[in-house]
Amino acid sequence: MSLDLPLWASLLVAALVLFGAFLTLLGAFGLLRAPTFYSRAHPPTLGATMGMASVLLGSMVYFSVTGSRLFVHELLLIIALPVVAPVTMMLLARAALFRDRQVRRYAEEQSERARRVADELRRMEEEAAQHEVTASATTVSGTERDAEEGQAS
Amino acid sequence: MSALILHWALLGAHAMLSLGLLLAAYRLFSGPHAQDRVLAFDAVYLNGMLQVILLGMRNGSAVFFEAALLMGLLGFVSSAALAKFLMRGEVIE
Give pLDDT tens digits along chain B (93 positions): 788 888 899 999 999 999 999 999 999 999 788 889 999 999 999 999 999 999 998 888 888 999 999 999 999 999 999 998 988 877 666
Question: Who wins on pLDDT, B78 or A5?
Answer: B78
How far is residue B69's CA from residue B75's CA, in Å, rounded to a whole number? 10
Q: Mean per-residue pLDDT for A113-119?
A: 94
User: Measured between CB atoms, does A88 come within 8 Å of chain B?
Assistant: yes
Q: Do residue B42 and residue A7 have CB atoms under 8 angstroms apart?
A: no
Residue B74: its chain A contacts at CB < 8 A?
none
- Interface predicted TM-score (ipTM): 0.89
User: Measured between CB atoms, does B89 come within 8 Å of chain A?
Assistant: no
Q: Do residue A24 and residue B20 have CB atoms under 8 angstroms apart?
A: yes
Q: Which of A37, A62, A91 sits opposite B36 (nearest CB)?
A: A37
Q: What is the DSSP string of B36-87?
A: HHHHHHHHHHHHHHHHHHHHHHHHT-THHHHHHHHHHHHHHHHHHHHHHHHH
User: Measured between CB atoms, does B61 come within 8 Å of chain A?
Assistant: no
pLDDT for A138 beyond 80? no
